[in-house]
Amino acid sequence: MSVTNEQVRHIARLARIAMSDEELERLVPELNNILDWVEQLGEVNTDGVEPLTAVIDQKLRLRDDVVNDGNIRDDILLNAPEAQHGFFTVPKVIE
Amino acid sequence: MTELTAKTIAELREGFRSGEFSAREVAEAYNDAVASARALNAYTVETPEDALAAADAADKARGSGEFGSLAGIPLGIKDLFATRGVASTAGSRILTGFKPPYESTVTANLRKAGAGMLGKLNMDEFAMGSSNETSAYGPVLSPWRRQGSNVGLTPGGSSGGSSAAVAANIAAGATGTDTGGSIRQPAAFTGISGIKPTYGRCSRWGVVAFASSLDQAGPMAKSVRDCAILLEAMAGFDPKDSTSLDLPVPPWEANLSSDLRGKRVGIPKEYRIDGVPGDINALWDRGIDWLKDAGATPVEISLPHTKYALPTYYIIAPAEASSNLARYDGVRYGLRDTPEGGNLDAMYSATRADGFGEEVKRRIMIGTYVLSAGFYDAYFTKAQKVRALIKEDFRKAFEQCDIILTPTAPSAAFGIGETTDPLAMYLNDVFAVPASLAGLPAMSVPGGLDEQGLPLGLHLIGNELDEQTVLNAGLAIEERAGFTAKPDKWW
């Protein structure tokens, strides 16, 4: 499988990365090189193999359903590029 | 007296305890060394006051006898670890100015043990790279140079600031992180030791996420013993990391022994690959002899899926990265770029275009593609199946052996700018990646110099949770290799 210019544009859109036409054109062969190379996994017979989910066998723990933090609004907003009235602010989303 | 900054952590600990010198003297010596080594570009932030405060606390506690295992030891911290109030940027422009209001579990553990922080160490952006060239702060220069050459060499990556700092004696030890070789390859390139423990030993909480099923923190230091000391302090169960192992931390240092009688050393035939310099294969053979000399018996083993490890990794790691890095959206922290009149979506896209470097974008793009509708099974599920087979290869191998010995990297350090093809760069982790995919503990120890006078590393892979045999075999090699070479100071 190889990717086209249009597909790469679509992936960039899904990944929310703005890209110029030149950048896209440069990326197409780079991505195709890498994708061609990973294609070799097709040689491996994986019939009946369960995909790995945990690299070291362990059960996911459940914690008690209790509030264990909170009241740290100012800490959370400390690094916000823009915050107002105790909230993160973003460009207007509702017209 | 040996210069303070040339001492190992074990020696510093001894000198501090016996009163030969104060922790403050150690911290001051290191702060001076850090300030005079800026040509290496190893630190992104220097925190001399932090190192001094920890030293003063250690000196005050010395009389009482109640101090931690790392009292007054000044460490460098890879910039991937969140450190409270100190810029933590993962080598990325997108985290410009980010000062976490919290501390990572690993660095909190080190502080609890009494360690001080000299500063934050440069690294490949989001730990994606093998040469430190993808950092937004520019590449770190290795303190090592080829004989008779002034060409700037890479200290490896992604923990390149860490490896350069330890090799140049501007940190007594350093934290690193390893997703696909990022502790071991830089350790090998700079003639130091570094261990990636079993996945889950060190908490990932507060470590900027790259590929969560692979990311593990570990120490980088001047000796195997120092690695054991640091790892004991860093490791431990943490309820804040869902994959943290709920197991006691073994006394790795106390149990160090280079007596390998009864141990079988697996030599995987698939690791004899074309294009590896003769020096590296020769060192591998010497490594086998050293372990034999320590009492171990070599056995040939087979890890049949070895050649598929790198392509598997380059599906899984970018896939996880593309998910993890979705959080950098210009809303909550770091950079924000809003085009004139742009909406929310335009803000996301412009911020990420501006904030991420080329390699990070490349990996996000690959990851997004292999996870996208219609391709998920062909790429991601397939890779997770092959990963299961790689894990099974190791499980079978450890029925026949107790430890595996290979070279750490297929080359010595290369020059900055010499490797421009992304695929060629990825191949540098060919020996390191399989152990990462299998979650196994693995270590690089220096073995010797190549014909250009550059360090080469030997790589030990242990069974799950068996860091002890890894460290012990590392110690056996260290004792026999007699690696004492240091780079000539040019910086």
Residues of chain A positioned with their CB less than 8 A from the CB of B360: none
Q: Tell me the residue range of the domain where B19 lies.
A: 4-256
| Structural domain contains residue B240 | yes
Burial class (CB in 10 A: 0-12, 13-18, 19+), B89: buried
User: Residue B238 maps to which CATH number?
Assistant: 3.90.1300.10
Interface-testing mutation among B385, B387, B433, with chain A (most A C-beta atoms within 10 A): B385
| Structural domain contains residue B249 | yes
Blockwise average pLDDT, block size 10, chain B, 491 residues? 89 97 98 98 98 98 92 97 98 97 98 98 98 98 97 97 98 98 98 98 98 98 98 97 97 98 98 94 98 98 98 98 98 96 95 98 98 95 98 98 98 95 91 98 98 98 98 98 96 95
Please give the residue of chain B at the shortest CA–CA distance from A8.
B365
* Record: contact A34-B423, CB cut-off 8 A: yes
Residues of chain B positioned with their CB less than 8 A from the CB of A17: 349, 352-353, 356, 361, 364-365
* Record: contact A15-B331, CB cut-off 8 A: no
B201 CB within 8 Å of a chain A CB: no
Task: Give chain A's residues under pLDDT 50.
Answer: none
> B92, B158, B163, B436: which is the annotated catalytic residue?
B158
Q: How distant is the Cα of B294 from the closest Cα of chain A, in angstroms?
A: 30
* CA dihedral sign, ordered B274, B306, A34, B320: negative
B206 CB within 8 Å of a chain A CB: no
Q: What is the DSSP letter of B83?
A: B
| Structural domain contains residue B82 | yes
What does each C-alpha distance from B81 to B45, B84, B102, B136, B209 come to in angstroms? 13, 10, 10, 16, 10
Please give the residue of chain B at the shortest CA–CA distance from A49.
B385
Residue B269 a catalytic site member: no
- Which pLDDT score, from 0 to 100, does residue A12 have? 98
* Record: contact A16-B97, CB cut-off 8 A: no
| Structural domain contains residue B335 | no
Residue B158 a catalytic site member: yes
DSSP H or E run through A28: helix A21-38
* Record: contact B332-A72, CB cut-off 8 A: no
* Record: contact B243-A54, CB cut-off 8 A: yes
Strand blocks (E) in B302-351: none
> B104, B135, B163, B182: which is the annotated catalytic residue?
B182
Measure the CA angle with vertex B212, ends B206 and B213; round to 5°. Answer: 140
Into how many domains does chain B fold?
A: 1
Residue B182 a catalytic site member: yes
Q: Is the domain A5-41 a CATH 1.10.20.60 member?
A: yes
Question: What residue spans of B19-72 are helical by DSSP H?
Answer: 23-35, 48-62
* Record: contact B464-A56, CB cut-off 8 A: yes
In sequence order, what are the residues at sequence separation of 6 or more whose Cβ sits closer than 8 angstroms to the Cβ of residue B52? B24, B27, B28, B31, B116
ipTM of the complex: 0.96
In sequence order, what are the residues at sequence separation of 6 or more whose Cβ sits closer than 8 angstroms to the Cβ of residue A76? B101, B332
B93 CB within 8 Å of a chain A CB: no
* Record: contact B372-A14, CB cut-off 8 A: yes
List the domain boundaries for chain A.
5-41
In sequence order, what are the residues at sequence separation of 6 or more whose Cβ sits closer than 8 angstroms to the Cβ of residue A52? B384, B385, B387, B388, B391
Question: What is the C-alpha separation between A41 and A43, in angstroms, rounded?
Answer: 5
Residue from B219, B369, B392 nearest B308 by CA = B392
Residues of chain A positioned with their CB less than 8 A from the CB of B366: 31, 34-35
Burial class (CB in 10 A: 0-12, 13-18, 19+), B356: buried
- Which pLDDT score, from 0 to 100, does residue B2 have? 67
